[in-house]
A and B are shown apart, each in its own frame.
Chain A
Amino acid sequence: MLDLLTSHFNAVFTSLRLRGKISKGDIETSCEQIRQALLESDVALEVVESFVAQIAQRSIDALALIQPGSNQAKAVFEVVNSSLVEILGGSARRVRFSKNPPTVIMLAGLQGAGKTTLAGKLAKFFADQGNTPLLVASDLQRPNAVTQLQILGQSIGVAVFAPEAGNGVGDPVKVAQAGVEFAKAKQYNMVIVDTAGRLGIDVELMKQAGDIRDALSPDEILFVVDAMIGQDALRTSQAFLDGVGFDGVVLTKLDGDARGGAALSIASLTKRPIMFVSTGEKLGDFDIFHPDRMASRILGMGDVATLAEAAKAAFDGDTSAKLEAKFASGQDFTLEDFLDQLQAMSKMGSISKILGMLPGSGAMKKAIDSLDEGEIIATKSIVQSMTPIERRDPKVLNGSRRSRIALGAGRAVSDVNNLIDRFSAAQKMIKQVRNGATPAGIPGMAGMGMPAIAPKSAAMRPKKKSKSGNPAKRAQEQSQ
């Protein structure tokens, strides 16, 4: 996401860094580039203008306070970064739990924004934290939205209140109300109400959403919006604000490559925090929104924190504990770890998603695209042909050892050499990340070139063969 914006910012700051002393003229030029980049990222024009005016003024103020020759580019960078964080919501807010359970969360948004899937994700998220959510199927419009929610609920073991089959039949206000009553009676501590998609300009349906709100007085109304939305974000979020009102925003489909400028527009217009992000089709692909991470990502510093979390979740306990211990003790990352990692990576949900979070992922796009499954198999067979000593200390790998390994793996010696070179690059990168630095300086990461160590198409979904044709079963498989 935000690739282009990132590359624009990279260009801006690379040229600022080269200059040492920054003039007002430089700031104006940079602001013009930032303006262009934000527009290409779908940020609404009025938001762009006020943002750019703000950073121009703040940069001038900031530069007045620092010594010429000291790191001026860094100061400007800080201004842009902090202004972005400010607009994106300052600090992330958590869901407010009601003093008198159940806590009622109502979802609202356009058709196709991803509300039903999100309802399942929220339920899983809160259930995993020990809550007892009840899903309420109040989307009685879209064919089989109710069935979809039932399947999702079943797959995560969360009850679904669905007295009406939907498909155009039933009253969503009554269902929502009955759902909350049911939750009270059965002592669920949380209710998540899925609602039908509606257009901002659809007066009748907006009124219906308002009626659901009035009937429930939800603790949180979440506006669910597709990260790919363009300039209409402004009109639509205003319409939902006027029509139902909302307390927080959820950005969906962030695993795509949309630049997501709408997030800036909505946060800045509505002053409501972006609370969660939805990042994939599996019910676990969900996260709390981190404005600072998003800003870093916009600025090309990558999202190392999210990467670390995602990787941790993907590695099994053993592997990750081992790696973590190594990481902490400052030991070197060895070929053995590399092998573990390759194996863990094949288990990971979405390689491209993970890599996309790395610093300078724009520059790595090419490298990512060149990865393929054959390569991971070849790599594994090479590492497996090494002795434990060789895996731990590749420095012992002289010519004869290399040809023995090549023979054992059924590969050319050049393949072995190639792997060792790439491994050394990876090792170096990991050291840099450990040291907390974004390699190659902030924020331009060009030249960091991710070594080709991961499969191009590692299972982003369960393997076809293991996928059940039975929707209920399949959903269960997916949520695992």
Chain B
Amino acid sequence: MALFSKLIAKLKRENSFAPADWAQLEKELLASDLGPTLTTNFLSAAKKVKSDNAEAALLEILSNNLALTSREPIVVPGTTTIMVVGVNGTGKTTSVAKLAALYKGSGKSVVLAAGDTFRAAAVEQLRTWADRIGVEVVCGKENGDPASVAFDGAKAAQASGADFLIIDTAGRLHNKNDLMAELAKVKRVVEKLSPINEVLLVIDATTGQNGLQQAKIFAESVEVSGVILAKLDGSAKGGIALAIESELGIAIKWVGTGESEGDIAPFDPNAYIKGLIS
């Protein structure tokens, strides 16, 4: 943002950013989906900055909102079990495929469980990915409920001694209590066999302030251990993820940057923060 450089320049020589410039800055921060609260906090902190290294100081104000929890993907000895959750259409199935491709590529064995037994052709979608990537996928039987598919996946992973089990789940809106209960049940049932080590919530980068509510309720239901911020290849900056980090202390672990299996990367906090204001 040219404006940001202007701000830095002004801050270096006695803060004389014009009111219109502050208004413009507010507009751009809001446009990143940072939300009114974080934006107001940032602006009031920024107004106090008087530093030779104003840029670093400003980035620091934003970085202070990052969660302090680890962003390292969880890996345990034996089978690491990952469950991928989120509202409809955020990119869960694609993210499952991306993670599978990533781990397979580093020489690990991966089993997928097609836990979306609800949406039409969701199972086939995951199966297509599994075939492309060359990993095993466990799909439900007729009348199979998602918990038993996931459980069967866990059994298969255990039997073959797989390094990773990744469970796809149906999209669900967080305000639907019975569907959230169903998700908690999937987790409970799998954990009769082996613990779920990582629950990744997929947040669509275009999501507005509702993303915070999504994260809050998913975290209450299934102990979310990290966020995948998908669709960061679009024009949206994904500012809501910073609010999730700051309010809920949940770390973004991965970002999705496209529709192919290779389009995933570990979250880079510095690049993300810079992206919010550029």
Report chain A residues within 8 Å CB of B31. 44-45, 231, 234
**Contact B176 A460, beta carbon cutoff 8 Å:** yes
In the complex the two chains form, what is the Cα distance from A233 to B90 in whole Å? 16
Q: Tell me whether A200 and B235 are in contact (CB under 8 A).
A: yes
A236 CB within 8 Å of chain B: yes
Interface string of B203-222 (1 = CB under 8 A from A): 01111111101100000000
Given contacts A141-B259, A352-B177, contact A469 B140 (CB under 8 A): yes
Contact B128 A281 (CB under 8 A): no
Flag if B33 contacts A230 (CB, 8 Å): yes
- When C-beta atoms are compared, the residue in chain A nearest to B129 turns out to be A143
Within 8 A of A (CB), among B205-246: 205-211, 213-214, 231, 233-237, 239-240
Q: Is B234 a contact partner of A200 (Cβ separation < 8 A)?
A: yes
The answer to whether A111 touches B30 (Cβ under 8 A) is no
A116 to B258 alpha-carbon distance, docked (Å): 20
Q: What is the size, in residues, of chain A's interface with B at 8 Å between Cβ atoms?
A: 65
6 contacts between A and B (CB under 8 A): A42-B208, A201-B234, A230-B209, A469-B117, A471-B124, A474-B117
A residues near B141, Cβ cutoff 8 Å = 469
B89, B117, B208: most-surrounded residue (chain A CB, <10 A): B208
Instruction: Please determine whether A471 and B234 come into contact, CB atoms closer than 8 angstroms.
Output: no
A53 at the interface (CB under 8 A from B): no
In the docked arrangement, what's the CA distance between A44 and B26, Å? 12
Interface contacts (Cβ under 8 Å), in number, total: 183
Is B87 on the interface with A (CB-CB < 8 A)? yes
Tell me whether A259 and B26 are in contact in the complex, defined as CB-CB below 8 angstroms, given that A112-B90, A200-B235 are known contacts.
Answer: no
Out of A230, A234, A468, name the residue touching B142 (CB < 8 Å).
A468
Q: Are B142 and A113 in contact (CB under 8 A)?
A: no
- Which of A114, A155, A469 gathers the greatest number of chain B CB atoms within 10 Å? A469
Q: Judge if B103 is at the interface, Cβ distance under 8 Å.
A: no
**Residue B123 lies at the interface, judged by CB distance under 8 Å to chain A:** yes
Known: A232-B33, A257-B175. 18 other contacts (CB 8 A): A45-B26, A111-B89, A112-B231, A143-B125, A147-B124, A148-B120, A228-B204, A230-B236, A231-B208, A232-B205, A235-B235, A281-B118, A369-B177, A460-B178, A464-B145, A467-B118, A471-B120, A474-B120
Separation of A226 and B32 alpha carbons in the complex (Å): 17
Chain A residue numbers with a CB within 8 Å of B3 are: none
Is A470's CB within 8 Å of the partner chain B? yes
A residues lining the B interface (CB < 8 Å): 36, 39-42, 44-46, 110-114, 141-145, 147-148, 150-152, 155, 167, 199-201, 226, 228-236, 239, 253, 255-259, 261-262, 281, 350, 352, 369, 456-457, 460-461, 464-465, 467-471, 473-475
A45 and B174 CA atoms in complex are apart in Å by: 27
Question: Residue of B at shortest CB range from A472?
Answer: B120
Docked Cα-Cα span, A198 to B2, in Å, equals 28
Contact A36 B206 (CB under 8 A): no
Assess A228 versus B208: contact at CB under 8 Å? Given A148-B121, A457-B178, A469-B142: yes
> Which residue of B91, B143, B174, B236 is within 8 Å of A469 (Cβ)?
B143
Q: Identify which of A42, A113, A144 contacts B125 (C-beta below 8 A).
A: A144
Q: B88: CB under 8 A from chain A?
A: yes
Contact assessment for B210 and A167 in the assembled complex, using a CB-CB cutoff below 8 Å: no
A115 to chain B, nearest CB (A): 9
Asked whether B208 lies within 8 Å of A144 as measured between CB atoms, the reply is no
CA distance A460 to B181 in the complex (A): 12
Q: Do B177 and A457 have beta carbons less than 8 Å apart? A: yes
Minimal beta-carbon separation of B215 from chain A (angstroms): 12
The complex places the Cα of A200 from the Cα of B205 at a distance, in Å, of 13
Q: Which of B87, B176, B213 has the most CB of A within 10 A?
A: B176
Tell whether B35 is near chain A: CB-to-CB under 8 Å. Answer: yes
Query: Is there a chain A Cβ closer than 8 Å to B75's Cβ?
Result: no
Asked whether, in the complex, the Cβ of B210 is within 8 Å of the Cβ of A256, the reply is yes
Asked whether any CB of chain A lies closer than 8 Å to the CB of B179, the reply is: yes
- 0 or 1 for each of B159-185: is its CB under 8 Å from A? (1 = yes): 000000000000001111111010000
Interchain nearest-CB distance for B185 vs A (Å): 10
> What are the nearest 9 A-B pairs in CB distance?
A230-B208, A112-B89, A42-B208, A469-B142, A148-B121, A457-B178, A232-B236, A258-B210, A151-B120
B121 engages A147 (CB within 8 Å): yes
**A199 in complex: contacting residue of B120, B142, B233, CB < 8 Å:** B233
Question: Chain A contacts of B36 at CB under 8 A?
Answer: 36, 39-40
- Cβ contact of B121, chosen from A44, A144, A261, A456, cutoff 8 A: A144
Q: Which of B128, B145, B237 contacts A144 (CB 8 A)?
A: B128
Proximity bits, B123-151, A CB within 8 Å = 1, else 0: 11100110000000000111111000000
**Binary A-proximity of B1-42 (CB < 8 A = 1, otherwise 0):** 000000000000000000000000011001111011000000
Q: Using Cβ atoms and an 8 Å threshold, which residues of chain B touch A259? A: 208-210
Smallest CB separation, B67 vs chain A (Å):
20
Cβ-defined contact, B240 with A230, below 8 A? yes
| Contact in complex: B178, A228 (CB < 8 Å) | no
Min Cβ gap A344→B in Å is: 18
Q: How far is it, in angstroms, between the C-alpha of A281 and the C-alpha of B89 when the chains are bound? A: 12
**Residue numbers in B under 8 Å from A112 (CB-CB):** 88-91, 204, 231
